[in-house]
Amino acid sequence: TVGLNDAAKAAGKVYFGTATDTNEFGDYGYVTILNDTSIFGQFTPGNSLKWMYAEPEQGVFNFTGGDEVYAMAYETGKIMRGHNLVWYSELPTWVTDATWDATNLTTTIQSHVTGEVSHYTGKLYAWDVVNEPLNDNGTFRSDVFYDTLGSSYISIALNAARAADPNVKLYINEYNLEYSGPKIDAMVQLVKDLQAEGTPIDGIGFESHFILGEINAQEFQWNMQNITALGLEVAITELDDRIELPATAADLYQQQQEYQEIVGVCMAVEGCVGVTVWDYTDYYSWIPSTFAGYGAASPYNECLEKKPAYDGIAAAF
Q: Which residues are catalytic?
A: 132, 238
Distance of CA 171 to the CA centre of its chain: 9
Q: Which of residues 216-275 bind ligand XIL (CB under 6 A)?
A: 238
Site for ligand XIL in 191-220 (CB under 6 A): 207
The answer to whether 46 contacts ligand XIL (rule: CB under 6 A) is yes
Contact flag: residue 5 with ligand XIL (CB under 6 A): no
DSSP reduced 3-state for 150: coil
CB of 315 to ligand XIL, least distance (A): 26
CA 279/CA 105 separation, integer angstroms? 33
Indicate the residue among 7 and 187 with the shorter CB distance to ligand XIL.
187
Alpha-carbon torsion angle 50, 313, 5, 132, nearest 10: -20
Residues that bind ligand XIL (rule: CB under 6 A) add up to a total of 6
Helix extents (H) in the chain:
4-10, 28-34, 51-54, 64-75, 93-96, 102-119, 144-149, 152-164, 182-196, 217-228, 249-268, 287-290, 308-316
Q: Which residue from 245, 286, 301, 308 is in contact with ligand XIL, where contact means CB under 6 A? A: 286
Closer residue to ligand XIL in complex, CB, 21/251: 21
Residues in contact with 260: Cβ distance below 8 Å, sequence separation at least 6, in sequence order: 312, 313, 315, 316
Is residue 276 within the footprint of ligand XIL (CB under 6 A)?
A: no
Contact 55, 119 (CB under 8 A): no
Closest by Cα among 121, 111, 186 to 156: 111
Provide, rounded to whole angstroms, the least separation between the CB of residue 73 and ligand XIL. Answer: 18
| 47 counts as binding ligand XIL under rule CB under 6 A | yes
Chosen residue from 20, 131, 221, 255 binding ligand XIL by CB under 6 A: 131
Q: How far is the CB of 278 from ligand XIL (least distance, A)?
A: 6
Nearer to ligand XIL, 207 or 241 (CB): 207
Shortest-Cβ-distance residue relative to ligand XIL: 286
Can you tell me whether residue 60 is helix, strand or coil? strand
Does position 92 bind ligand XIL by CB under 6 A? no
Q: Does residue 103 contact residue 153 with C-beta atoms inside 8 Å? A: no
Kindly state the smallest distance separating residue 173's Cβ from ligand XIL, in Å: 6
Q: How far is the CB of 270 from ligand XIL (least distance, A)?
A: 25
Q: Which residues bind ligand XIL (CB under 6 A)?
A: 46-47, 131, 207, 238, 286
